[in-house]
A = this chain, B = another copy of it.
């Protein structure tokens, strides 16, 4: 029983003009005489009129709303990835006056493209087909954090390969040779690239890969703990440095190491990934690889907006990752 609020016709009547003219000032068309524009604007104010988005969408075909699709995969919530992304995207949408539809999806259902004028995919995990169908339906789309090979969509990703290499090179530069990697979930491209970067960096410096030194996880702290324990359990063969695929896992590794009576960085050096602010504090501030999450979100919205406005070519942006040196690494003894 919501009170029926003013419609465009009421405004037109009050202003003594046609609804077309009202529509024109609403849509900021240039072809309205100044005095009439004023009249309309006043009528709008008096009536507290605001156009029905549904009618606008139906008549004009513009929705002004975009969707953010986040795969409802546990791991995506382990880091602060999701929140930072939402924050970046949400803030920019607010500024651009875009409505943001949020889908935490299992990936099975297909999105109803009729509702939105564009879609941002926060990574692709089990929902590649949603991306594909968006492309097929020619809905403007951009994928975040996944340098989409074989898919013709715009994307904005972070250079995980380079980031990982820098991390490992830094460790090698410190004299480490026994470098382990607690990897993320191989279901994510980011984790795969970080692992690949780790391998390439090792290889480039002629250090042989040790299978015992590579442990794959689901990004959870629980699995990080087990990984760290396994690594320490190698005893004499235990690594002197560990490159961990996320800061929250790195923090867990640090905790395990301390529990076992070892020290970071004196006994074992640690490099994380994310630049999660909570890694600044704690027993030792973490050396890590910074991922510009908020920026990725913003870039994605910007690109999507351009696509919606008619931009044709897709663009694949690869943002650089940056090694942030703090206190969790040391020259090997």
Query: Which A residues contact B (CB, under 8 angstroms)?
Result: 1-3, 5, 50, 52-55, 57-58, 63, 65, 68, 70, 72, 77, 80, 82-83, 86-87, 90-91, 93-94, 99-106, 112-115, 137-139, 221, 225, 248, 251-252, 255, 258, 277-278, 280-283
- Give which listed residue, B50, B55, B113, contacts A58 with CB less than 8 A: B55
Q: List 26 interface pairs A-B (beta carbons < 8 Å), by A numbering.
A: A1-B138, A2-B137, A2-B138, A2-B139, A3-B137, A5-B137, A50-B112, A50-B114, A54-B58, A65-B101, A68-B102, A70-B90, A77-B83, A80-B83, A83-B83, A86-B102, A87-B104, A93-B104, A94-B104, A100-B103, A101-B101, A221-B278, A221-B280, A225-B281, A255-B282, A255-B283
Q: How far is the CA of A133 from the CA of B102 in the complex (A)?
A: 24
How many subunits of this chain does the assembly comprise?
2
- Residues on B with C-beta less than 8 A from A278 are 221, 248, 251, 278
Report A167 CB to chain B, min CB distance, Å.
22
Beyond contacts A1-B138, A54-B55, A70-B90: 10 other A-B pairs, Cβ-Cβ < 8 A, are A53-B115, A83-B83, A86-B86, A93-B104, A94-B105, A99-B101, A102-B102, A221-B280, A251-B278, A252-B281
Indicate if the CB atoms of A258 and B281 lie closer than 8 Å.
Answer: no
Indicate if the CB atoms of A282 and B251 lie closer than 8 Å.
Answer: yes
Indicate if the CB atoms of B58 and A112 lie closer than 8 Å.
Answer: no
- Residues on B with C-beta less than 8 A from A105 are 94
Q: How far is the CA of A106 from the CA of B93 in the complex (A)?
A: 12
Indicate if the CB atoms of A281 and B101 lie closer than 8 Å.
Answer: no
- Residues on B with C-beta less than 8 A from A281 are 221, 225, 251-252, 255
- Residues on B with C-beta less than 8 A from A113 are 2
Q: How far is the CA of A138 from the CA of B4 in the complex (A)?
A: 11
Given A57-B54, A100-B101, A251-B282: A87 and B77 within 8 A (CB)? yes
Given A101-B99, A251-B278: A106 and B83 within 8 A (CB)? no
- Residues on B with C-beta less than 8 A from A91 are 72, 104
Indicate if the CB atoms of A3 and B102 lie closer than 8 Å.
Answer: no
Indicate if the CB atoms of A99 and B115 lie closer than 8 Å.
Answer: yes
Q: How far is the CA of A105 from the CA of B283 in the complex (A)?
A: 36
Indicate if the CB atoms of B94 and A54 lie closer than 8 Å.
Answer: no
Beta-carbon nearest neighbor of A52 in chain B: B114
Indicate if the CB atoms of A114 and B252 lie closer than 8 Å.
Answer: no
Q: How far is the CA of A248 from the CA of B280 in the complex (A)?
A: 12
- Residues on B with C-beta less than 8 A from A83 are 77, 80, 82-83, 86
Q: How far is the CA of A116 from the CA of B133 in the complex (A)?
A: 26
- Residues on B with C-beta less than 8 A from A282 are 251, 255, 282-283
Closest 5 CB pairs of A and B: A90-B104, A54-B57, A83-B83, A54-B54, A102-B102
